[in-house]
Amino acid sequence: MSDESQNESRIDDTSAALLRARALVLRDIVACGADVHGIVDVLDAAVREREWWVQRWPEGIEFLAGQVAQDVQDRLVDTEGRWPPCPQHPDEALQLEPPMGADPHWICGRGCGEIAALGELPRQA
């Protein structure tokens, strides 16, 4: 395999991981009823910044979806408030565990425990 085709396959993996991360986080945004225009812009900005990050740190590809979710979470605190809310505690934001790992899950810190995997939050009314 030439160097050039190896580079191409890594770019393809990166694109696929970025699309997967966007899809997972978008699913949770929609599940929380927060699919307003501004939030999708926040998501897309986070995905663009993580593209730069993962190109410099290819090992981070496994953590990409969790990182994008936490970027969105950090940005929404300033504008929309706590996201994603716990189904039982609307004023409590769920946290991703592990914060830096593959296959992260949303956890409520007020006793509900694990709510769902990233991308699988239950739809809220």
The site for Zn ion (CB under 5 A) is made up of: 86, 88-89, 108, 110, 112
Q: CA-CA distance, 65 to 58, in Å (whole number)?
A: 14
Q: Which is nearer to Zn ion, 63 or 106 (CB)?
A: 106
The minimum distance between CB 73 and Zn ion, in angstroms, equals: 16
The minimum distance between CB 108 and Zn ion, in angstroms, equals: 3
Q: Which is nearer to Zn ion, 64 or 93 (CB)?
A: 93
Q: How many CB atoms lie within 10 A of CB 36?
A: 11
The minimum distance between CB 94 and Zn ion, in angstroms, equals: 8
Tokens representing residue 89 in the block: 């505690």
Q: For residue 23, what are the contacts with CB-CB under 8 A and spacing of at least 6?
A: 119
Tokens representing residue 93 in the block: 């934001």
Q: Which is nearer to Zn ion, 17 or 86 (CB)?
A: 86
